[in-house]
Structure 1
Amino acid sequence: MKGSVNRVVLVGTGFVGSSYAFAMLNQGVTEELVLIDLNKEKSEGDAMDLNHGLPFAPAPTKIWFGDYKDCRDADLVVLCAGLNQKPGETRLDLVEKNTKIFKNIVDEIMINDFNGIFLVATNPVDILTYVVWKHSGFPKERVIGSGTILDTARFRFLLGDYFNVDTRNVHAYIIGEHGDTELPVWSHAVIAGKTIADWNRMKKNFNQSDLEELFINVRDAAYHIIKRKGATYYGIAMGLVRLTKAILENQNSVLTVSTYLDGEYGHKDIFIGVPAIVNRSGIREVVEIDLDEEEKKKFDHSVQVLKKTMEPILD
C-alpha cells in the first residue's frame, strides 16, 4: 500500500457507485478517486461533473476516469459493478449473473498487482464477497462486504423515530444475510444504556406488534424503495463512505459488515453480516455477541440459506 496519498478505485459507476463517489467528494475522504466502468462515456462524464464541484469540496481530491492499471497503487478497490435487483427479484436471484461478472473483474484487478483491500457492495453481497475472496486469493481480513451496515442503519433510524430519539444515539444491530433471512439482535438493542424492553415500558400505548412491524419494515425496505424509485443507492453509498473512512483513517470502528467466519458464532467458511472491528488492515477481529436461543436459531438458518444458494457457483 502507498504511504501518504490514499487512492480509492471505484469499479461500477451506476446508481450506487456514482452516489458513493459524490458522497466521497462531499466528505473529503480520499486524495485520489479513480472511476472504472464499461460505459466509458458515462464515467468520463461523472469524473468531469465531480471535478466541477471541487471548489465547494472540504478537501482537494484528484478524480479521473481510469482503468485497471490504476489498481496497482490503490489502497482500496470498491466493487459496485453488476446487475441491479429488479422489482420482484430477491438479492439471491442475482447470484449466477453477478458471480460471472465479478470473476472477470477480479481477474483484471489481480493482473495489475493490486495489494490493498477489497470492499464489495454488489448484491447478493455476502456471496459475492466470498467469490472475491476465493478468486483473488487474498487474506480474509482484506476482503469486506457491506453486509448489514445499511440494514443496521435502517433499524436504528426506525427505532429512533419510534422512541423519538436521535438515531445516532441508538445502538442496535441487524446481522445475518443482507436479505430476507437477516435478523434483529433485540437482546443487545439499547438507547442511552437502557434496553429496548425498558424503553417499551416507558412508552405509552406500546404494543409488541409495533416492534415486529418495525423489523419487517427494515427487512423489506429495499423492496419498498425499488417499487417507488427503481433502486436504492443513497443509504448504501453513505454506508460505504463510512466503511471507507474506517479503513483509510484506521478508526477501529465496530460495523456490521460481511466478513469471513472461522468458528465465530459456530460457523466456518462463510461471509455474513456480523459486528467486526474495521481498521487500516481491514477486519481486525470479529466481535462475537451473545445471542439468545431464538437469535441463534435464526442466525443459523441465515447461514444455511447462504451456503445452499452458493453451492451452484462454487468451483
Structure 2
Amino acid sequence: MLNRVNRVALIGTGFVGSSYAFALLNQGITEELVLIDLNKEKAEGDAMDLNHGLPFAPSRTKIWYGDYSDCKDADLVVITAGANQKPGETRLDLVEKNARIFKGIVDEIMASGFDGIFLVATNPVDILTYAVWKYSGLPKERVIGSGTILDTARFRFLLGQYFDVDTRNVHAYIIGEHGDTELPVWSNAYIAGTAISEWTKNKQDFKQENLDNIFTNVRDAAYHIIERKGATYYGIAMGLVRLTRAILRDENSVLTVSAYLNGEYGEKDIYVGVPAVVNRNGIREVVELELTEDEIQKFSHSVSVLKKTMEPVFNR
C-alpha cells in the first residue's frame, strides 16, 4: 500500500509564518515542512527550534529550511511573506509594494515545477490571492486566500461569548473584503440551528447595539491588536492550519476563504471572502448564501472597493 507523504512549503517565517509552522507541528497535519525565507538564518533557526520540539509532537514531521527548488514536490505552498501592516495603515495600503514582492516569489516557485495548491495569507489578501492566480497561471480552484476565515472566527467567538455558548456551536459568517468593507451575514447567523434573532428574544438585557458593537469589534480587531502588540499572528496561524487540514485531508469543509467569483453573488473576476467547500483539489465550489437586499448591496460595495484598489496594479 502506497503511503502518500504530504509536503508543505512555507514562504516567509515572520510572525505569521513561524506561528503557523508551530501550530502545524502541534497538530501533526503534514509529514514534511520546508521553511523558505530571504533571511536564511532565521529560517534555519526556526527549523532547528521546531525540530527540538518533535519529541513532544503528536506525530513525526520532517522539518528543514530550504529554497524555492523544494517547492517542486510540495502539495501546498503557503505564502505569509511580505510587508506587514503598520499602525495607522489599512490592509489596502499594502497593495503595490506587496504585489511587487509577490511577482518575484511566485515566479521562483513556478520555476521549480510546482503544481500544487497555493494558500495566501499576506495582506491585502484578496488582491494578493488574485495576483498569485495571475502570476502562476494555475487554475483558480488551486489558488486560495485566507479571506475572512479569521474574521469569521472572531465573529463566532464574540457571539459565543455574548450568548454564553461554545463558539464551536455558533454558525455565522463574515464575507467580503478582509478589511474595512467586510460585512456580517446576520440573515444566516445561527446557534445550534436556531437563528440569532430567536436567541436575542431570550436575552433580557438585549439591545440591537450590542450586536452592532460585536461586528464593529470584529472588523476593527486587527487595529486594536496591532496597537497593543504590533502585529496579529496567532489567530490567522490557527486559521491557516485549519485550511491546511481541510486541503491535505480532503475534508470538503465549508470555510470562508478568498475564492474566485465567476458569477456567484452577481460578481465576476475577483477574489473575495465567501464560504466555499475546500478539499484536496482546492476550492470545490463557492457556497452562495441567500442574502438580504441590504447584505447584497454591502457585498457589492466591498467588491467594488477591491476592484478600484486593484486597478493601478493590474490595469483593469
Shared fold by TM > 0.5? yes
Cα separation, 1, equivalents of 2:272 and 2:108: 25
Alignment of 1:226-305 (within 5 A): 226-305=226-305
Alignment of 1:160-239 (within 5 A): 160-239=160-239
Percent identity of paired positions between Structure 1 and Structure 2? 78
Partner of 1:128: 128
Cα separation, 2, equivalents of 1:73 and 1:192: 42
Aligned amino acid, residue 250 of structure 1: D
Q: 1:69 aligned to 2:30?
A: no
SS at match of 2:122: coil
SS at match of 1:23: helix
- The RMSD of aligned alpha carbons is 0.8
C-alpha displacement of 1:3: 6.6
Alignment of 1:42-121 (within 5 A): 42-121=42-121
Aligned residues: 314
Aligned amino acid, residue 55 of structure 1: P
C-alpha displacement of 1:85: 0.2
SS at match of 2:258: strand
CA displacement, residues 179-220 of structure 1 (integer Å, 9 cap, x when unaligned): 000000000000011111100000011100000011000000
Cα separation, 1, equivalents of 2:292 and 2:207: 22
CA displacement, residues 78-114 of structure 1 (integer Å, 9 cap, x when unaligned): 0000010000000000000000000000000011100
Aligned amino acid, residue 26 of structure 2: N
SS at match of 1:289: coil
SS at match of 1:135: helix
Question: Runs of 5+ in structure 1 lacking a partner?
Answer: none
C-alpha displacement of 1:245: 0.2
Question: Runs of 5+ in structure 2 lacking a partner?
Answer: none
Cα separation, 1, equivalents of 2:68 and 2:159: 42
Cα separation, 2, equivalents of 1:256 and 1:192: 19
CA displacement, residues 135-172 of structure 1 (integer Å, 9 cap, x when unaligned): 11000000000000000000000000000000000000
The runs of 4+ residues in structure 1 deviating greater than 4 Å are none
TM-score by length of 1: 0.99
SS at match of 1:73: coil
